Every structure is written in C-alpha cells, then in structure tokens.
Structure 1
Amino acid sequence: MNRLLLAAGALVLAAVPALAHPVTVKSCNREVTFDAAPKRAISNDVNLTEMMLALKLQDRMVGYTGVSGWKTLDERLREGVKQLPELAEKYPTKEVLLNADADFYFAGWNYGMKVGGEVTPETLMPLGIKVYELTESCIHIMAKGKPTMEDMFVDLLNLGRIFGVEERAEALVQGYRNELAEITARIKGAERRPVRVFVYDSGEEKPFTSGRYGIPTAMIEAAGGVNIVDDVEKSWTEISWEPVIDRNPEVVVIVNYGEVTADQKIAFMKSNPAFRNVDAVKDDRFVVLEYVEATPGPRNIETIRRLARSFHAEAM
C-alpha cells in the first residue's frame, strides 16, 4: 500500500515541470539573471506595453509609462490596460518607479531611457529594479546588424522566460513566424522587384524618418519593398528632403501620431511643388501606420501584410 502511494507520488512529482527560475537572458550587451518572475512590472511606450499584454502579463504589472504624453494611446491598448494606471505621461523618473515599488522595467533606448540619463539599467540596479531592453533599440549603445522581425520575436521569447510563460511566448511567436512566412512566400512567388518606400514620421522643413536600424526597414523589406534611406545608419533621425526627392519613392508610409495628423502630412506633400515629380505623390500612394504599428510590437505582422497589399496587390 505504502509502495503504491510512494509510486503515485513520484508520478505526480514527475508530471510537475521544473521551476523555470533562475533564468538568464541577453539584454543588449548585458546578461540579466532573474531569480524569480517579476511581480511588479512597468513597461514604457505603447508598443512595449502591447508586448506585455500579448503575453497576458497584466496581472504582473503595476502600471505603464510614456503613452499619453506622445499621443500614441489607441482603443485597443486602452481596453487592455484599463485596470492599470499610467504612472508617467512621458519618460518616468527614478522616483516614479520607486513609488510604484517596481521590480522590473521593460523599456528601450529612446523608448523610456536615454543614454547618460537618469533612468538606465545601471541607475536602477541599486534600487532593485531589473531592466530588459528592447532589442531594436540596442543600436544606440552597441554595434548591431540591421533589424529583422526576429528582433521582436526574441523580445517576446525573452519576456516569456523572464515571467515564466515560455510556452505561451513560443506559441505566440510561432504563429507570427508562420504568418510572416506565408506573406513572404506570396511576394516571392510574384517575382516583383522591391518597391521604393519612404517613411515620413514628422517635420516639414526637414523630415524625421526611419533609417537602416529602425524596425520599419525590416517591415518594408518583409513586405517586398526597400527603404530609400536604408543607407542612413540610424534608427530614427532627421534628414533633408533632397535625397527623398532624388530617390523618388513609389510609396510613402506616414506614421500617424502627435499634433499633426496623417491627413495633414499627406496634404503637405501633395501641395508642395517640390514633390510634384515624386511617384508616390503623383500616384497618391500613401500608407498610414499608427505609431504602435511602426514600432516593434505584436501588430507588426498584420502591418506587414497591409504593406504587402499596398506594394504588391496582385500577389496578396
């Protein structure tokens, strides 16, 4: 009898998975070890917050930062975070994070942290707040190759490990990979040349755009296009209009957020004589992306499909 009970107990123990922690993940040029899953996490920016929501981590969060101050909040995010407070409209201070008793901060360089700023992994470490950095943003502090959609997948998988929801993260990422493979297979089957694309974020005197190291470059390439400022070794930066005109984009991707609307940006390009010979303007080929779609996050794959439809309608 006792032997049977012992054997049954052994089977039950064998069926229980080993504890996931401690786990060590790579965050930019650091290795970060988590002895236990965070319980009081804070994310910065709409796209990083949506990564947390995609993994159903709301119950591990005490709030988020950096959304309403940039006018990037939308209804889908609002629904997901309605029980959570926005602790700072823009970048948080150390005091904001301390007052929330945070034990984890998911942010990136220029996504809640600035090089040499008050809030960095180094300044938060003594306070007991561990930081995971958005992979796309690592270019600001280390050498890094061009982004691909794998960068976003890596972030989701690392968050899965950090929070002990690895299977959930793997299933989510596999679904994204399958969808992306289907999109790229359709484009390759059409055997069309890449469409020339310009990303217009903001600015009239000089445009603010996404260069070689921004996630829009990866999204544009996945959708069968080429970023016309792919040779600009920045993620997001200000350039002059001359190369835009000279390189003659066939499609302009408008990033919609802030005080100036997408319609106003389009009207500016259409009404300015300097752009009258630009193919995208002549052919009225504009694609509007919300900020959350143009930054690394769960909406990137559906956005790539929408871009592909615009670039290569016959294939999609």
Structure 2
Amino acid sequence: MRFVSIFGVLLLAGCSAQAAPAAAPAAASVIGNCGRQLSVAAPPARAVAMEQNATEILLSLGLADRMAGTSYQTDPVLPALAAAYARVPVLAKLYPSREKVLETRPDFVYSTFTSAYAPDAAGPRAGLAELGIPAYLSRFACESSPETFSFDGLFQEIQEVASIFGADSRGASLVADQKARLAAATSRAHDAASVLWYYSGTSTPYVAGPGGVPAAISAQLGLTNVYADAGETWPAGNWEQIATRNPAWIVVADLSRGGDGDSAQSKIGFLRSNPVTAHLDAVKNGRFVVVPGSSLDPSVRNVSAVELVGAAL
C-alpha cells in the first residue's frame, strides 16, 4: 500500500517575524468590519489574538512586539514564527475570559471565529467597543452573512489587518509571497480526482462541504469534493454514503485536541479497520494526504495546505 503523509515544511517568510518596527499612520481610522464600524485611534500596541490563526497572521506581519496576549493554540506554531510566539503572553489554553482579556489592557482584539466573542470568552464586540476596544472579526466568520472563503478574500483581510497596524508594506510583502506560492502550487495540471475532506469523528464523520477552505483548495487544484452538494460547510456525513461516493483520495485533518477520530493516525486506522470503508479505492490504495487541522480554517496556513495536497496528487 502507498501512504502519503506530508506534514511539515510549513514555512513562511521568516524575515517577516523579525522586521523593523512598522511606521504608524498619521491619523485614526474607521473600518467597516462585519456590520460594525471599528474606530482605531492609533496603531495597536497591545493587541490580543483570540486563537492561533489570528496569532499567526499577526506574527507573520512581524507584530509580536505589539501583542499583549494570545490563546487557543491548536497545533505546533509554524517553525518560522516560533521565536516570535515565545515572546507573547499566553492568556489561556482555550479562550480567555472577558476579565482575563481586559487585564491585558488591550487596544485591539482580533479573532477568526465568532465563538471568541461569546459571553464566556472575550464577550460581545459591542461591549468591547463601549470600553473603547475595537474588536475585529474575520470576514469569513461574521455574525451574519459571513463571506464564502476565497484566497482573494484572505489576502484582502491580511492587508486590512496590516493597515490597521500601520504595517502596509509588510502586508503587501506577505500577500505577495502567499500569492507566489499559491501560483506555483497550482501551476501543474492534476487529474480531476474525487476527494473526501475528512475532518473529525469516527462514529459520525464530519467532512468538508461547500464554501470553506477545502472547497477553495479543491477549486484551485481541479478536484471534485464528494460532499460539494452538502447544505453546510462542515456537514455530518455517514460511512454508507461515503462508500457509495467512493473518493479516489482522502485528505485527513490531523487534530491535536485528543478526541475520537481527531488525530490523523486514528482516522486512518479506523478507515482501514471499518468494513464499510476498508474497500474504498482511496483506502485500498493508501491514497491519504495528511494536513494540519488548522490549515483548513482561514489562516496563513491555507496556501501550505494547497502545497501539501497538490504535491501528493
């Protein structure tokens, strides 16, 4: 059997994490963000990133010295960002409470997930705004009418965040690097293979449908997502239906949280031992591609996921 496990080499431009201090814009800015107007009086100097994806965007822009805290790490930090990450206080293993966030005296909060602004986390964005703290939310996670993920949208978000910090040139450099890598990863022709994006679970598998990062990667590489017809971005599948659809490849998300069917090893072991899935073409031929789970949520890791899947195919 052939088993493709391609984990690492998730390197960003290492120089970005050690760049010189960014030049500050001359005046305050007002930014439209997920239906709210965020007033940013000055380039943030005490930003809090509510989870790893937001953290790695800020670190990739060389903003470790402007961060008062990070939280919710799901994977080992990208090697090129590890030294910068070590300088940022970790506020909580998962989401910090509102009180913990406020203790840092933040002047900006950034999250790529709506759940970060729940009452038992940082609290609603409106409440933070009343305290004079602009709370930015990814366009792909807006409370209402979130954008469908696209690489163009991701690059626009990176540039907007960079602009908030007065780091426009760093944003342009990071986006140029990401675009070049994306173009290189998609320059080779691939067979129009069918693929299952297997995220988590064994008794009930959670898979990727339309509208998310996996759908965009599939489009970039000319792949057919076997759950493209689902009504949700991350639907619950079932093994009998998956067996009927019989994907040629299975992209396996490697999650470090330790639950049922989270690690790539547990998923692949299950697929090989389960009578319903053991006869899938992908399983019989060992056509697995392993990607970090965090690379399937909007982040600077998305281009790396394209590179990993494209290289395997």
1:285 partner amino acid: R
Deviations for 1:73-99, whole angstroms, at most 9, x for unmatched residues? 346354331111210111222101111
Match of 2:272 among 270, 273, 279: 270
| Residue 14 of structure 2: aligned partner | none
Q: Distance in 2 between matches of 1:175 and 1:80?
A: 19
After TM superposition, the structure 1 stretch with the greater mean CA deviation from structure 2, 143-152 or 154-163, is 143-152
Q: Which has the higher helix share?
A: 1
Q: Distance in 2 between matches of 1:18 and 1:112?
A: 28
State the aligned residue count: 286
Give yes or no for contact 1:94–1:124 (8 Å, CA) kept in 2.
Answer: no
Determine which structure has greater relative contact order: mean sequence separation of CA pairs < 8 Å that are 6+ residues apart, divided by chain length: 2
After TM superposition, the structure 1 stretch with the greater mean CA deviation from structure 2, 122-131 or 108-117, is 108-117
| Residue 93 of structure 1: aligned partner | 97
Match of 2:61 among 55, 62, 75: 55
Give yes or no for contact 2:54–2:111 (8 Å, CA) kept in 1.
Answer: yes
1:151 partner amino acid: G
Q: Cα offset for 1:206?
A: 0.4
Q: Distance in 1 between matches of 2:201 and 2:123?
A: 28
Q: Cα offset for 1:239?
A: 3.1
Q: Cα offset for 1:276?
A: 2.7
User: Which runs of 5 or more residues in structure 1 are unaligned?
Assistant: 1-16, 312-316
Q: Distance in 1 between matches of 2:155 and 2:119?
A: 24
Q: Distance in 2 between matches of 1:214 and 1:143?
A: 14
% same residue? 29
| Residue 76 of structure 2: aligned partner | 73
Counterpart secondary structure, 1:185: coil
TM-score, normalised relative to structure 1:
0.82
Counterpart secondary structure, 2:185: helix
Counterpart secondary structure, 1:62: strand
Give yes or no for contact 2:148–2:211 (8 Å, CA) kept in 1.
Answer: yes
Q: Distance in 2 between matches of 1:117 and 1:91?
A: 6
| Residue 128 of structure 2: aligned partner | 124
**Does residue 1:210 correspond to 2:205, yes or no?**
no
Match of 2:108 among 104, 108, 118: 104
Q: Cα offset for 1:53?
A: 0.6
2:58 partner amino acid: M
| Residue 217 of structure 2: aligned partner | 219
Give yes or no for contact 1:41–1:61 (8 Å, CA) kept in 2.
Answer: yes
Q: Distance in 1 between matches of 2:252 and 2:296?
A: 9
Q: Cα offset for 1:253?
A: 1.2
Q: Answer with 1 or 2: which has the greater Rg.
A: 1
CA RMSD across the alignment: 2.4
Q: Cα offset for 1:205?
A: 1.0
User: Which runs of 5 or more residues in structure 2 are unaligned?
Assistant: 1-22
| Residue 307 of structure 2: aligned partner | 305
Q: Distance in 2 between matches of 1:26 and 1:163?
A: 15
